[in-house]
Every structure is written in C-alpha cells, then in structure tokens.
Structure 1
Amino acid sequence: MLKGKHEIMLKTSLGDITLVLDADSAPKTVTNFIELAKSGYYDGLTFHRVIPDFMIKGGDPNGNGTGGESIFGVSFEDEINADSYGLHKLKLGDATDEALPEELAEMTQKEYLEKQGYIFNDDLKSLPMEKGYIAMANSGPNTNGSQFFIIQRKAGTPWLEGKHTVFGKVTEGMDVVDAIANTEKGANDMPVEAVTFDVEVK
C-alpha cells in the first residue's frame, strides 16, 4: 500500500484540476485510485452527476453511476475514523429535531452507523468533508470501487461524515470544479454536454 502524499491531475474538457491524495489517511483508497489511473482506467470517462452547491461525481465506466470496480475486486472497505468527525460524541437526538425513540436518541452517530454496517478504523486520521476534498462514492458501507466525488459546496457536506472515505484535496483548479458543477444538465443531474477527463499521475 502507498504512503504519503501523491499529486495527480484531472485533465478535464473544461480545464485542469490538480489534487494531492493522502495515502496516510486512506492507504488502500489512494493505492486503488493511483493504480487505476496508471492503467488508464479513468481516461475518457465523464463526470456523470453534477449538482451545484454540492459536488461533481465521476469515475464510472458505464457513465451513469451504476458501474466501476477496484483493483481489489468489485469493491473494497471504507477507510474512515468516525472519531475524526466527533461522531463518537454526537448523539442522534442532538443531531435532529425529529422525535426519536429513546434508544435511538441516546445512541451516538458512530454507534448508529456501525449498526448499519460501517466499520471504522481508529488508527487513521480522516480528512474533512469540506469544499475541495475528494471522496469515494459508494452505495452503502464498504462498497468502494472506482467512482469518486469532489465536494463543491462552500460549507462542505457534514451530513456525509462517516459514510464516505475522503482521500485528498484540490490544490489548483477549484474554478474548474465550480464550472463543472454549474454546467447545463439534463435527467439524473447528468451534464447535457459530456464533461470528460483523463487522470495524470505526477
């Protein structure tokens, strides 16, 4: 597994986005992304779902959010430390205005997510879910493949903390992320004119 920082460039049809991936916070995730990129897996793929004031998502060879795989097989496990987000302290009852049964209200967000199948790793230091960070897209606990998203929302996406592995950050080209997020789109938040990209590993 890789360690340390790794620079990559997403060369998109709307401009270049430079990111630094952090293998110390998510070694398996970064190794998967870098190896897929080196093999050319991502080249020519699209950002198939873009939502302004939220995120841009890509990395699916099917181009519609239904596909993708990892170098470890179909999917691999999350690399998240719930404590990095304070989820071990925050009670469900304090996080919502809804009336919850007492056993749920007293449960921490970490405990609630663990009941849903999420497995956390206290040895990692998870990166924040803030604007400009890149995270793995998934369809539930431990279902990471090749799809990823870049957070475009200014205030970040705190409601996704503990549910997605964050593995790097945009260092240049956030204006390109903004442009992609705000491109004209049709059904299922898919850009009307395809936004394609290649990945270059520095």
Structure 2
Amino acid sequence: MFARRVAAVAVSVLAVAGFAPAVASAAPAPAPPTVRCEFIPTPDLPAAKPVKPPRPTAPTRGTALSVLLTNYGPVAVQLDRSVAPCAAHNFAHLVRSRFYNHTQCFRLTNSARLGVLQCGDIYEVEKGGPGYRFADEVTGKETYPRGTVAMGNQGPGTNGSQFFVVHSHANIPPNYSIFGKVVLGMDTLDRIVAAGIADGKEDGLPKHPVRIHHAFVI
C-alpha cells in the first residue's frame, strides 16, 4: 500500500513537470525490433539481493521513464532503448525487481575531471551486484555531459547493476554504456553535491548518506 502511494506521488510530480506517461491508444502498436542480450551468471559474485537475469531479448526502439525517489528528492531518468538496448532493458528489469529499493549510493566525485554520483552497488563501492554481467554497448564516440546516465563497470563486459549520473561533467574514455538521461531532478543532484564528500575529498563516500528509497518504471 505504501509503495502504491509513493508511486502515485511520483506520477503526480512528473505530470506537473510535463512528463506524464502517454495514454495507450486503442490500436496496439507494432512490436518493436529486438536485440539479443547475453546475461552471463557470475557465480563467484553472487547476487546481493534476490533477482533473476532479465529476458535475453530487449527492444531497440522507444523510451521508458524511471523515477528514483531519494532522500534528497526525486530523479526521473528517461531510458533510451535505441542507444544501449541491453543496458536500458537491464535497468528497467532491476527497477521492477525492486533491486534498487532501500539502497545507498556509495560514491560521489566532484573534481576537474569527473563529477558523478555512482549508485547500484548494494554493499559498498563496486561490491554487491545482481549475480550476472553483460557486454558493453559503446561506439567509441560517447561523451558524458551533465545529466547523462550510464553503466559503471570494472572493465570490459562487466556491466551489472552499477550506474552513474553525471552531475557536472565526466572527462572519461568512451567505455561506459549510456542508457538514459535525467529529465527531472538535476536540482536533486545539485543538493547532493552541495552536501559534500566525506573528509573533504574530491572522490569518495558522500558526506551525508544518499539513499534510494524506491524506484519505479512508468
């Protein structure tokens, strides 16, 4: 019941901001083309929370809207299936599986090179994934401006649940699959950055915990 009420509030916030979900038409839309995704089990790194891998096929057209309700405010992310279909499919699956509910974002950076909030790790930075991995979806031409949402990884082909949101800029190699952008809630990111990083560092644990209470796909 509580989750339904929170979801209703999220939809209301998005509607006021002009991001209300479209009403389905009477005639069914043609099925979009799909791509096959390989979600490879990682028995040496078991799932940190109960979750199964997504279906092995992902649509390659259209968008979806995901809302992250944090203790600093909401962040709405438009998922782009045409850019990184497997990553967008995986993110939506983890959201629907409640994998990100009641989790903490353990890394915040704010330097001349990198300004991101990293989330999706259940235990601590780069520890606690979904128990599987999948390939990168990059062209080598990726850039990461403010508002970009992309997969985090620990090397080629190690995508799982970790993701980052660019709050300022990210001067990094094009090695990270971009699957969405923030369409509402950059002010939430700004508040997180203003709260600072522990020990006055440029890269580390946020000074005050950043928590994802609930996540939804609309």
Structures share a fold, TM > 0.5? yes
The CA deviation at 1:201 is 0.8
Return the letter of the residue paired with 2:211.
Answer: T
1:68 match: 129
The CA deviation at 1:47 is 1.2
**Structure 1 position 183 matched with structure 2 position 199:** no
Correspondent of 1:39 among 92, 97, 101? 97
Return the letter of the residue paired with 1:64.
Answer: V
Taking every aligned residue pair, what percent have the same amino acid on both sides? 31
Higher relative contact order (CA 8 A, sep 6+): 1
Distance in 2 (alpha carbons) for counterparts of 1:80 and 1:12: 29
TM-score, structure 1 as length reference: 0.71
Is the contact made by 2:66 and 2:217 (CA closer than 8 Å) also made in structure 1? yes
Return the letter of the residue paired with 1:25.
Answer: V
**Structure 1 position 160 matched with structure 2 position 160:** no
The CA deviation at 1:179 is 1.5
The CA deviation at 1:190 is 0.8
Deviations 1:148-199 (A, max 9, x none): 000112xx324332x1001100111101112122323326611233211121
Distance in 2 (alpha carbons) for counterparts of 1:52 and 1:59: 19
Return the letter of the residue paired with 2:94.
Answer: L
Distance in 1 (alpha carbons) for counterparts of 2:147 and 2:68: 13
Q: Give unpaired runs (5+ residues) of structure 1.
A: 86-125
Q: Give the direction of change, closer, same or farther, for the CA distance of 1:29–1:181 in structure 2 (3 Å limit).
A: same
Q: Give unpaired runs (5+ residues) of structure 2.
A: 1-57
1:91 match: none
Return the letter of the residue paired with 2:189.
Answer: V
1:48 match: 106
Larger deviation, residues 25-34 vs 2-11: 2-11
1:172 match: 184
Give runs of ≥4 in structure 1 deviating > 6 Å: none
Distance in 2 (alpha carbons) for counterparts of 1:64 and 1:158: 20
**Structure 1 position 200 matched with structure 2 position 213:** no
Return the letter of the residue paired with 1:199.
Answer: A
2:145 match: 130
Deviations 1:110-150 (A, max 9, x none): xxxxxxxxxxxxxxxx6x41110101000111110100000
